[in-house]
Amino acid sequence: MSALEQVVSGMLEELSREYDIDMTSYIFAGREFSFVSVRDSYALLDRISQEDFMKDEKMPYWAEIWPAAVVLSEFILEELSVEGKRIIELGAGVGVASIVAASAGADVLSTDYSEEAIRFIRLNAGKNNVVLDTARLDWRFVQLEKRFNVLFAADVLYERTNLLPVIFAMDKLIEENGCAYIADPRRRLAQQFLDLAFENGFSVTSYPKSFCREKQTIPVNIYRLFKTRDFQS
In this predicted model, what pLDDT tens digit does every residue of 92-138 receive, in sequence order?
999 999 999 999 999 999 999 999 999 999 999 999 999 999 999 99
pLDDT of residue 229: 65
pLDDT at res. 5 = 85
Mean pLDDT of 13-29: 94
Residue 2: its pLDDT value, please?
Answer: 86
pLDDT tens digits along 170-217: 999 999 999 999 999 999 999 999 999 999 999 999 999 999 887 889
List, in order of start, the domains of the chain with CATH numbers. Answer: 3-227 (3.40.50.150)
73 touches 28 (CB < 8 A): yes
pLDDT beyond 90 at 53:
no
Mean pLDDT of 53-71: 79
Q: Please state, rounded to an integer, the average pLDDT across all residues of the chain.
A: 91
**Band of pLDDT at residue 54, cut at 50, 70 and 90:** very low
Predicted TM-score (pTM) of the model is: 0.92
